[in-house]
Amino acid sequence: MKILKLILKNKFFGFILGIFISLFFIKLFIYKKKNNLKIIVFSEHRWRDSLKIINKDKNICLIKIPDFIYNRINSLFFTNPVSKIKREKNYKKIKFDNLGFWGKSADQYYYLKKDDDALKERERKFIYIKNIAKTIKYLTNIDCALTCAVHYNQEQEWASGFNKGGIPFICLHKEQSLIEKNHINFRVKHLKRIKQIFQGTAVVAPNKIVKDLFIKSGLKDKKNIYSSGMLKFQGIKKQTVKNKKFFTLFSFGHYTGNIVPKKRSSHYFSKNYNEGFSKLFFNTHKVFIKSALKNKNIIFYIKPKNWEDWWILEIEKIIKEVTGKNSKNIKNLIITKKPSIYLIKNSINVIGFNSTVLLEALLLGCKPIIPNFNEAKGNQKKNVYFKDFKKIFHIANSEFDLAKKINISIKKIKDSSFNYFFGPYKIFEHYFDSNPKKIKEKTLNIINKIIFNYNKNQRKI
The hierarchical CATH code for the domain 246-432 is 3.40.50.2000
Residue 2 has pLDDT above 80, yes or no: no
Backbone φ and ψ for 169, nearest 5 degrees, come out as: -110, 110
Backbone φ and ψ for 412, nearest 5 degrees, come out as: -110, 50
CA 459 to chain centre: 35
Give the pLDDT of residue 106. Answer: 56
**What confidence tier does 32 reach under pLDDT thresholds 50, 70, 90?**
low
Share of residues in the chain with pLDDT > 70 (%): 87
CA-to-CA distance for 139 and 216, rounded, in angstroms?
A: 39
DSSP string, 58-126: TTEEEEE--HHHHHHHHHH-----GGGGGG-TT-PPPPHHHH-TT---GGGSGGG---HHHHHHHHHHH
Residue 353 has pLDDT above 90, yes or no: yes
Give the pLDDT of residue 95. Answer: 41
CA-to-CA distance for 146 and 174, rounded, in angstroms?
A: 12
Residue 440 has pLDDT above 50, yes or no: yes
Give the pLDDT of residue 150. Answer: 95
**What confidence tier does 432 reach under pLDDT thresholds 50, 70, 90?**
confident
C-alpha pair distances (Å), 116 with each of 151, 160, 255: 21, 19, 34
Residue 94 has pLDDT above 50, yes or no: no
Residue 434 has pLDDT above 80, yes or no: no
Residue 8 has pLDDT above 70, yes or no: no
**CA proximity to 394, closest of 342, 352, 341:** 352
Highest mean predicted confidence (pLDDT) among 33-42, 97-106, 374-383:
374-383
Give the pLDDT of residue 67. Answer: 83
Lowest-pLDDT choice from 82-96, 147-161, 175-189, 298-312: 82-96
Edge-to-edge strand list for the sheet holding 369-371: 333-335, 299-303, 246-250, 347-351, 369-371, 394-396
CB 317 within 8 A of CB 324: no
pTM of the model: 0.84
Give the pLDDT of residue 389. Answer: 92
Highest mean predicted confidence (pLDDT) among 43-47, 116-120, 370-374:
370-374
Residue 264 has pLDDT above 70, yes or no: no
User: DSSP label at 284?
Assistant: H
Residue 179 has pLDDT above 60, yes or no: yes
Give the pLDDT of residue 342. Answer: 92
Give the pLDDT of residue 263. Answer: 66
DSSP string, 193-248: HTT----SSEEEESSHHHHHHHHHHTSS-GGGEEE---GGGTT------SS--EEE
Give the pLDDT of residue 9. Answer: 65
Bond from prior residue into 304 cis (ω within 30 degrees of 0): no
Neighbours of 143 (CB within 10 A): 20
Backbone region of residue 243 per phi and psi (left: phi > 0; alpha: psi in -120 to 50; beta: other values): left
CA-to-CA distance for 293 and 286, rounded, in angstroms?
A: 11
CA-to-CA distance for 419 and 349, rounded, in angstroms?
A: 6
Give the chain's mean pLDDT. 86
Residues 384-388: what's their mean pLDDT? Answer: 91
CA-to-CA distance for 129 and 229, rounded, in angstroms?
A: 30
Residues 162-191: what's their mean pLDDT? Answer: 89
Residue type, 119: L
Q: How far apart are the first and last CA of the chain?
A: 41
Q: Report the SS3 class of residue 172.
A: strand
- All CATH 3.40.50.2000 domain ranges in the chain, comma separated: 246-432
Residues 311-326: what's their mean pLDDT? Answer: 95
Q: Which residue has the higher pLDDT, 51 or 105?
A: 51
Give the pLDDT of residue 416. Answer: 72
